[in-house]
Amino acid sequence: MSPNTDSVLEVISKLASMPIDSLKRETELVADLGIDSPKALQLLVELEDEFGIEISDEEAARMETVGDVLDFYEKA
Amino acid sequence: MSSHVTEARLAHIHGIPRRKPIDDLPLTFPETVAYAAREFSEKGISVLDRSGRNPDRRSFAEVLDSVKQAAGKWRALGVQNGDRILLCIPTSWEFVDSWLGAICIGAKPAAIAPAMGGLSSSSNFAERLEKFRSVIDASRLLVGDRMASDLRAQFPDTLGAISLTPGELFSEESGDQSFRQVEPEEMAFMQFTSGSTGMPRAVVITHQMATLNAYAINEGIGDRFGAPVSEWSELHSAWLPMHHDMGLIGCLLFCIANGIELSLMNPTTFLARPIRYLETFHKKRAVMSGPNFGYQFCVDRLKQSDVEGLDLSRLATANTGSEMVRPETFKAFSKLLEPTGFTPDKVMSCYGMAEATLAVSFDGFQKGVRTHSVPQKSEVLVENQDVVSCGFVVPDTEVKIVTQEGTTLNENELGEVLVKGPAVFSEYYKNEEATNEVLKDGWLYTGDLGFISNGELYIAGRSKEILVIRGDNIMPHELEWLAEEARGQGESGERTAAFSVSHEEVGEEIVLVVETNVTDTEKLGELDHSIRSRIGRAMSLPVHDLVFVRRGRIPRTSSGKIQRTKIKSDYISGAIERLDV
């Protein structure tokens, strides 16, 4: 079962220390949330641990916005 | 240790004496790989899986076999002596085999960071690939599956046409597997470094430079233990990427040449789960290594409960270099690992750079991080008032400190660090102008500021304008151009300056100063976002602070070049008049 949008947003919001309602689909991970590559990997691990779905490095390399992360789980 | 000081007053020091003779040791890669298989057959290399566990181990004898096969595969593809190859794949057996296999048939590989954990889009990445490819005029490109199919779709006649995946390489019918007879003075491979013009430079590394530096590291780290590392180390464990000199030379080649058991972890695994890296050292007499960033990263990510049960009491040393060493990081790291038996005296700082193959000096005392105050105020901005000792120079190598005019200074005087020795390079690939800028009479002008005190080398900062973010060198131009692209057609003469400032705990962060005629707060806000977005997408780097100033506020030289060090010191002192966003 794919995780719901709110639980994915919650993981992102916690990691970026940003309120959940400030996250829009077009919010950029690096530019807007300051998620640099080490933090991005931490995000992947937390998402994987939380939802048990593995994200490959190549898939991860394509995620630029909050929407991209949500799309991944919607397809999963 | 005072015997290391050959000239007490002048700031000019010579290498430590060698404990192990090297007369009978090989000086080329083909011989080194064969030598390891013969002499250290019980030792080998393990590559950990994505979770940081389940080592896939091969003895050095098996490594010789797999490198021979890779050599045959490259030949079957028509790759010949002298061909340049760009490697862009993560840490893996495919990397080790294809890199060594290429070198052993006389091809010249160079590695760059794969598009991992970068959250970078493929079109930006293709631009970056082409930039590096063109510097060495590579005729082959080894990339991951997804990247290869993107490149073939988007650039079928250029990057796509020369792309090759590890799967394709290793499924080739094998050709002639024999190693080429090479001379120690021949080029073995190249490593990229940032140039002052924004174009990367490829440092030519000969077989001899690489092997001699690998032997020098064995002595340099071993000095404080009274014996070369190879005589006592049970393991060397690395997470450093293979496109980084500290990973490629300091871990991979170092272990093969000296017969040391090696464990390789993908950097993404380390960044995702740093505890897995620390776990590889459990109860082992071993060497840990990495830039300051890696240690700080452990501090930021791990709690004492994470390290419960871990025994690091036998760890020999935690080696740190390739960016400024921060004493606070190691205080915190030691505190975190206190329950494991890790002690602060295990920390060893070192100094080196790609133009010297890698290693120049190691701290020879078992006293942990030791600092010294920077001797005197100088025109050059020094951010840190207490700097860390990088110790003594490796065998057969010399370091001196000179003024801007090139005169050798005395001990305890601040100047530019110069290095000379058998591992110092003699050319950037096809770039004589750049070579002549930094190499004079066999001395490498490092662009680093430092001083010598009691025969030990201290690095105080950089006189170059390179930003070092998490151990990676970034040229200010790259950021400035991206910012200017994002801004679009601004008024002519509007300039941008990029530099980094250090923050106590987190290390260096990017600051951008952008000149603009825009005053409207809302428009400035949009501009702010588009610049951050452009840099975020292209380089996966967040901008710590973006400062808008009026046109002409970035200081320039009489010839119109922007003065980044000047604007940086204005920024630090708060003298910049920033526009409100």
**B487-514: per-residue pLDDT in tens?**
876 556 788 999 998 876 667 889 999 9
Q: Tokens in use for B575?
A: 């003298």
When pLDDT is averaged across residues B189-205 and rounded to a whole number, the result is: 85
Q: Tokens in use for B419?
A: 């290095």
Distance CA B274, CA B380 (A): 37
When pLDDT is averaged across residues B179-191 and rounded to a whole number, the result is: 97
Q: Which of B117, B121, B272 sits opposite A64 (nearest CB)?
A: B121
3-state per-residue secondary structure call for A26-70 = CCECCCCCCCCHHHHHHHHHHHHHHHCCCCCHHHHHCCCEHHHHH
* B537 Cα to chain A: minimum distance (Å): 7
Residue B145 touches chain A, beta carbons under 8 Å: yes
When pLDDT is averaged across residues B68-89 and rounded to a whole number, the result is: 97
Is residue B191, in this structure, part of any structural domain at all? no
pLDDT of residue A59: 75
Residue B537 touches chain A, beta carbons under 8 Å: yes
Q: Where residue B378 falls among pLDDT bands split at 50, 70, 90?
A: low
B413 touches B377 (CB < 8 A): no
CATH at B367: 3.40.50.12780
Is residue B235, in this structure, part of any structural domain at all? yes
Is residue B194, in this structure, part of any structural domain at all? no
When pLDDT is averaged across residues B355-368 and rounded to a whole number, the result is: 95
Do B116 and A31 lie within an 8 Å CB cutoff? no
Question: Given phi > 0 = left and psi -120 to 50 = alpha, else beta, which region is B471?
Answer: left
Express each pLDDT in A6-65 by its tens digit. Answer: 999 999 999 888 999 999 999 988 888 888 777 777 888 888 888 888 777 777 777 888
End position of a domain, from candidates B435, B462, B489: B462
pLDDT of residue B380: 54
How many other C-beta atoms can be found within 10 angstroms of the C-beta atom of residue B528?
Answer: 19
Q: Tokens in use for B566?
A: 């000047």
Instruction: Give the highest mean pLDDT range of B45-54, B108-117, B416-425.
Output: B416-425
Is residue B39 predicted with pLDDT exceeding 90? yes
CA angle B290-B294-B299, nearest 5°?
135
> Mutate which of A30, A58, A62, A69 to test chain B, going by most B C-beta atoms within 10 A?
A30
Is residue B11, in this structure, part of any structural domain at all? yes
Q: Which residue type sits at B121?
A: S
Q: Where residue B1 falls among pLDDT bands split at 50, 70, 90?
A: very low
Same-domain status, B177 and B109: yes
Q: A29: which chain B residues are within 8 Å (Cβ-Cβ)?
A: 119, 536
Torsion, Cα of B528, B529, B531, B532 (10° steps)? 110
Is residue B34, in this structure, part of any structural domain at all? no
| Most distant CA pair in chain B, distance | 72
Flag the least confident range among A57-71, B159-173, B530-544: A57-71
* B116 Cα to chain A: minimum distance (Å): 6
CA angle A38-B300-B500, nearest 5°?
65
Express each pLDDT in B301-335 by its tens digit. Answer: 999 999 999 999 999 999 998 888 889 899 999 99
Chain B contacts in chain A segment 57-76 (CB below 8 A): 57-58, 60-64
Is residue B35, in this structure, part of any structural domain at all? no
- The catalytic residue among A36, A49, A57, A68 is A36
pLDDT of residue B7: 45
* A18 Cα to chain B: minimum distance (Å): 15
Same-domain status, B485 and B375: no
Distance CA B245, CA B253 (A): 10
Q: Where residue B119 falls among pLDDT bands split at 50, 70, 90?
A: very low
- B329 forms bridges with which residues in the sheet? none
Do A34 and B542 lie within an 8 Å CB cutoff? yes
Residue in chain A closest to B534 (alpha carbons) equals A31
Residue B116 touches chain A, beta carbons under 8 Å: yes
Torsion, Cα of A55, A58, A63, A68 (10° steps)? -60
Is residue B189, in this structure, part of any structural domain at all? no
Q: Where residue B485 falls among pLDDT bands split at 50, 70, 90?
A: confident
Q: Tokens in use for B125?
A: 């990445």
Same-domain status, B301 and B386: yes
Same-domain status, B293 and B366: yes
DSSP code of residue B466:
-
- B392 forms bridges with which residues in the sheet? B362
Sheet strands (E) in B353-442: 359-362, 371-373, 386-388, 392-393, 398-402, 415-420, 439-440
pLDDT of residue B109: 98
Same-domain status, B437 and B482: no
Distance CA A70, CA A5 (A): 7
Distance CA B44, CA B442 (A): 36
Between these two residues, B249 and B563, which has the higher pLDDT value?
A: B249
Q: Which secondary-structure segment (H or E) carries B511? A: strand B507-516
Q: A32: which chain B residues are within 8 Å (Cβ-Cβ)?
A: 529, 532-533, 536
Instruction: Give the highest mean pLDDT range of A27-36, B229-238, B407-416.
Output: B229-238
Q: Where residue B117 falls among pLDDT bands split at 50, 70, 90?
A: very low
When pLDDT is averaged across residues B156-170 and rounded to a whole number, the result is: 96
pLDDT of residue B526: 92
Same-domain status, B257 and B339: yes
Distance CA B457, CA B440 (A): 21
Residue A35 touches chain B, beta carbons under 8 Å: yes
Do A36 and B541 lie within an 8 Å CB cutoff? yes
Between these two residues, B504 and B246, which has the higher pLDDT value?
A: B246
pLDDT of residue B195: 64
How many other C-beta atoms can be found within 10 angstroms of the C-beta atom of residue B155?
Answer: 17
Q: Where residue B463 falls among pLDDT bands split at 50, 70, 90?
A: low
How many other C-beta atoms can be found within 10 angstroms of the C-beta atom of residue B518?
Answer: 17
End position of a domain, from candidates B428, B462, B496: B462
Residue in chain B closest to A66 (alpha carbons) equals B119
Same-domain status, B73 and B221: no
> Mutate which of B116, B119, B472 to test chain A, going by most A C-beta atoms within 10 A?
B119
Q: Tokens in use for A44?
A: 């992947």
Count of domains for chain B: 3
Q: Tokens in use for B470?
A: 């998490």
Q: A34: which chain B residues are within 8 Å (Cβ-Cβ)?
A: 542
- B388 forms bridges with which residues in the sheet? B371
pLDDT of residue B418: 98
Distances (CA, A) of B223 to A65, B144, B227: 49, 41, 6
CATH at B129: 3.40.50.980
Do B117 and A37 lie within an 8 Å CB cutoff? yes
Q: Which of B145, B297, B536 sits opposite A38 (nearest CB)?
A: B297
CATH at B520: 3.30.300.30
B263 touches B55 (CB < 8 A): yes
Do A64 and B273 lie within an 8 Å CB cutoff? no
When pLDDT is averaged across residues B363-387 and rounded to a whole number, the result is: 77
A74 touches A34 (CB < 8 A): no
Do B120 and A36 lie within an 8 Å CB cutoff? no
B212 touches B423 (CB < 8 A): yes
Is residue B537, in this structure, part of any structural domain at all? yes
Nearest to B370 by CA among B461, B469, B457, B462: B457
Same-domain status, B251 and B169: no
Give the whole-number percent of chain B exceeding pLDDT 70.
93
Between these two residues, B9 and B337, which has the higher pLDDT value?
A: B337
Q: B118: which chain A residues are within 8 Å (Cβ-Cβ)?
A: 37, 61
Same-domain status, B144 and B228: no
pLDDT of residue B377: 54
Q: B470: which chain A residues are within 8 Å (Cβ-Cβ)?
A: 36, 38
A44 touches B119 (CB < 8 A): no
Distance CA B257, CA B252 (A): 9
Nearest to B496 by CA among B487, B505, B504: B487
Torsion, Cα of B81, B82, B88, B94 (10° steps)? 20
Do A57 and B116 lie within an 8 Å CB cutoff? yes
Residue with the two structure tokens 């000095």: B223
Q: Where residue B196 falls among pLDDT bands split at 50, 70, 90?
A: low
* B262 Cα to chain A: minimum distance (Å): 24
Express each pLDDT in B255-312 by its tens digit. Answer: 999 999 999 999 889 988 999 999 999 999 999 999 998 999 999 899 999 999 999 9
* A64 Cα to chain B: minimum distance (Å): 6
Domain span including residue B448: 2-28+202-462
Residue A24 touches chain B, beta carbons under 8 Å: no
Nearest to B49 by CA among B265, B241, B268: B265
Give the whole-number percent of chain B exceeding pLDDT 90.
69
Is residue B6 predicted with pLDDT exceeding 60? no
When pLDDT is averaged across residues B13-28 and rounded to a whole number, the result is: 96
pLDDT of residue B70: 97
Q: Which of A32, A34, A41 sits opposite B272 (nearest CB)?
A: A41
Residue A44 touches chain B, beta carbons under 8 Å: yes
When pLDDT is averaged across residues B106-112 and rounded to a whole number, the result is: 97
Chain A contacts in chain B segment 264-303 (CB below 8 A): 268, 271-273, 297, 301
Q: Which secondary-structure segment (H or E) carries B534? A: helix B521-539
Same-domain status, B400 and B448: yes
Q: Tokens in use for B567?
A: 């604007």
Distance CA B49, CA B92 (A): 9
Do A44 and B273 lie within an 8 Å CB cutoff? no
Q: Which of B146, B536, B543 sits opposite A58 (nearest CB)?
A: B146
Same-domain status, B413 and B443: yes
Residue A34 touches chain B, beta carbons under 8 Å: yes
* A59 Cα to chain B: minimum distance (Å): 9
When pLDDT is averaged across residues B542-567 and rounded to a whole number, the result is: 87
- B348 forms bridges with which residues in the sheet? B319
A36: annotated active-site residue: yes
Same-domain status, B430 and B511: no
Do B271 and A38 lie within an 8 Å CB cutoff? yes
Q: Please name each of the domains of chain A with its CATH number.
A: 5-75 (1.10.1200.10)
Do A60 and B537 lie within an 8 Å CB cutoff? no
End position of a domain, from candidates B148, B182, B216: B182
